[in-house]
Amino acid sequence: MNAPMSIQSCGNCGLSSMCLPLALTQPEMTQLDGIIKKSAPYRRGESIFRQGDAFTSIYAVRAGMVKTTVVNALGEEQITGFYFPGELLGLNGLHENVYAGTAIALETVSLCEIPFVKLDELSALLPELRRQLMRQMSQEIADEQNMMLVLAKTSAEEKLGNFLIRLSLRFKRLGFSATQFRLTMSRVDIGNYLGLAVETVSRTLTKLQQRGVIKVAGKEVTILDMDGLSGLNRNVDEPAKLVVVG
Amino acid sequence: MNAPMSIQSCGNCGLSSMCLPLALTQPEMTQLDGIIKKSAPYRRGESIFRQGDAFTSIYAVRAGMVKTTVVNALGEEQITGFYFPGELLGLNGLHENVYAGTAIALETVSLCEIPFVKLDELSALLPELRRQLMRQMSQEIADEQNMMLVLAKTSAEEKLGNFLIRLSLRFKRLGFSATQFRLTMSRVDIGNYLGLAVETVSRTLTKLQQRGVIKVAGKEVTILDMDGLSGLNRNVDEPAKLVVVG
DNA sequence: TCTAACTATTGATCTGGATCAATGTTCGAC
DNA sequence: GTCGAACATTGATCCAGATCAATAGTTAGA
């Protein structure tokens, strides 16, 4: 009944720290303050940038959750990520000076905007900022490679299990409960992201609940058996077979 | 019968240009020369770095093709990319100072090695190097997001079509024929990369050949109908339906 | 040159998840 | 509150691609 609460965090995120764990001196921070702009809040469904737009800025999420998508020539859309407070949007835009995807607010979202021109100047002046930016890009590359593994290899159960665990870790990092949280995104979004039909997402969540691994009530999820969730595995019954044989 | 020819390129790749399209002044190039090391050749199957190894260097491919893989907790392996001359390896390692995947030579490969410590110093001194590195990272992020779309959404035919087209574009960029080339990697590797069983790769290639879109002879591939390949689409017959209705 | 071990193709069968269909639930706007 | 639209669940059926199986072809090494 309450307005849905967006993920508020970044309490430690002054503008000057760019939502990043940066160790800067006071003059450096002052320097950043003049450049990083706090954006007006975006509402649910609004786009922050669109695929093909001229690349102008990188954004750091301050509050709320954002999804990013890419569209191919056939018009098929794929969700490429969900972004939490403290994470960076637009890192795929430096390449051709055009955003390679679209970013859409899943709830009320506020951002820091870092104009790229300025960022380039600053990179030269603030080595720690440059390093942090590269680390974040590196992290994104690693994350996406792991996502490729999930998409290519796993069953519906494994995909959902992996998805919930990764959400859990990120809520935890933000200081929220790792075992109980709200799915900001719709089932359709989850399905799109994981390469599953909505119906399969629904069925699989039900199945996991029946098995006592999680509890689902609408958007509210509770993880009851973290090991069970992370151990999801095509061959769980193989050890049992061995017992029988013996 | 001949020893398989590795992809030789980077004729324009002096060590000092790091296999990258960099516009540097002469003193800058001299500076780079002292830092970038030309590696001894790696043989087919040898690893350049392994998942979990301490991150020391970024590598630029000079000749030959490399595959990268990630392994998850269950030991499932996923090929995350094939790397051509001029492309960079190890970009996912900056994050935690550990390589987040393994790189393996698919044929005889030679590399440039750029020690990261030095790279960090240089980034401050050579803005163009820093920008280029960031562009490459950005490119990799965008590529992987597109791969997520391919993995999540497309049929076996679309996957293979997309795969062949992307190979084609890269051969073209290296100055080779865009319509006739050799698949350096095995069918198993292709299947793993695209999330398909080997048998499906084989069958689908045969099907595409029967349809006259490509010609396959072992590892040798000829693209006969580029548009047919790129237009692979679940709903190709829908326009026809409309005609019938009218 | 021969052999053993990969690598690739082709066929037969099976199945997980897509698709189609119907119903139930939630939520924002009024 | 109540209406309509979007979102979610559940059931029935179907099919693309996995898996199992057998056969070729290719390649490295003795």
Residue range B39-65: mean pLDDT, rounded: 91
Task: Say yes or no: A49 contacts chain B, CB-CB below 8 A.
Answer: no
Give the phi and the psi of residue B181 in degrees, each rounded to 5.
Answer: -155, 175
pLDDT digits (tens, 9 = 90+) for B204-225: 999 999 999 999 998 999 999 9
pLDDT digits (tens, 9 = 90+) for B124-133: 778 888 888 8
Q: What is the mean pLDDT of chain B?
A: 83
DSSP state of A3: P
Q: Which residues in chain B touch residue A151, judged by CB atoms under 8 angstroms apart?
A: 148, 151-152, 195
pLDDT value of residue A224: 94
- Residue B185 burial (CB count, 10 A): 18
B189 nearest nt, CA–C1': C7
Task: Dig out the tokens for B124 from the structure.
Answer: 């401050």
- Model confidence at B1, in pLDDT bands (50, 70, 90)? very low
pLDDT value of residue B68: 96
A4 nearest nt, CA–C1': C27
pLDDT value of residue B74: 84
**Residue type for position A176:** F
Ranges under pLDDT 50 in chain A? 1-18, 234-246
- Model confidence at B18, in pLDDT bands (50, 70, 90)? very low
Q: Is the pLDDT of residue B19 over 80?
A: no
- Chain D nucleotides close to protein (CB under 7 A) are 7-12, 16-21, 25-28
B185 nearest nt, CA–C1': C7
Q: Is the pLDDT of residue B234 over 50?
A: no
- Chain C nucleotides close to protein (CB under 7 A) are 7-12, 16-21, 25-28
Task: Dig out the tokens for A186 from the structure.
Answer: 């719709």
pLDDT digits (tens, 9 = 90+) for A9-50: 443 344 334 455 566 667 767 777 777 878 888 999 999 999
Which residue of chain B comes nearest to A137, CA vs CA?
B137
pLDDT digits (tens, 9 = 90+) for B124-164: 778 888 888 899 999 999 999 999 999 998 899 999 999 99
Question: Of all residues in chain B, what percent carry a pLDDT higher than 90?
Answer: 57
Task: Say yes or no: B9 contacts chain A, CB-CB below 8 A.
Answer: no
Q: Which strands make up the sheet holding A102-105, listed edge to edge?
A: A47-49, A102-105, A66-71, A77-83
Helix ranges, B99-153 (H):
116-125, 127-153
Task: Say yes or no: A194 contacts chain B, CB-CB below 8 A.
Answer: yes
pLDDT value of residue B3: 34
Q: Considering only CA atoms, give the Rg of chain B.
A: 20
Q: Is the pLDDT of residue B29 over 90?
A: no
Does residue B83 come out as left (phi exceeding 0), alpha (psi in the -120 to 50 range) or beta?
A: beta
DSSP state of B64: S
Which residue of chain A comes nearest to B234, CA vs CA?
A74
Q: Which residues in chain B touch residue A87, judged by CB atoms under 8 angstroms apart?
A: none
Task: Say yes or no: A5 contacts chain B, CB-CB below 8 A.
Answer: no
Residues 6 or more apart whose CB falls under 8 angstroms from that of A217 comprise: none
Could you tell me which of B214, B9, B225 has the C-alpha nearest to residue B110? B9
- Model confidence at B102, in pLDDT bands (50, 70, 90)? very high
pLDDT digits (tens, 9 = 90+) for B164-192: 999 999 999 988 999 999 999 999 999 99
Which residue in B81, B100, B127 is closest to A142 by CB distance? B100
pLDDT value of residue A150: 95
Residues 6 or more apart whose CB falls under 8 angstroms from that of A170 comprise: A84
Does residue A107 come out as left (phi exceeding 0), alpha (psi in the -120 to 50 range) or beta?
A: beta
Q: Considering only CA atoms, give the Rg of chain A.
A: 20
Question: Of all residues in chain B, what percent carry a pLDDT higher than 70?
Answer: 83
pLDDT value of residue B52: 93
Q: Is the pLDDT of residue B228 over 70?
A: yes
DSSP state of B178: S
Residue range B56-82: mean pLDDT, rounded: 92
Protein contacts of strand C with Cβ less than 7 Å away: A 3-4, 155-157, 195-197, 199-200, 218-219; B 186-188, 198-199, 201-203, 205-206, 216, 218-219
pLDDT value of residue A240: 32
**Residue type for position A114:** I
Q: Which residues in chain A touch residue B67, judged by CB atoms under 8 angstroms apart?
A: none
Which residue in A127, A134, A142 is closest to B124 by CB distance? A127
pLDDT value of residue A51: 95
Strand partners for A132: none
Q: Which residues in chain A touch residue B140, judged by CB atoms under 8 angstroms apart?
A: 141
CA angle B128, B130, B135 (to 5 degrees): 95
More confident residue, B231 or B70: B70
Round and report the angstrom distance from CA (B182) to C1' (C2).
29
Task: Dig out the tokens for B215 from the structure.
Answer: 């010609």
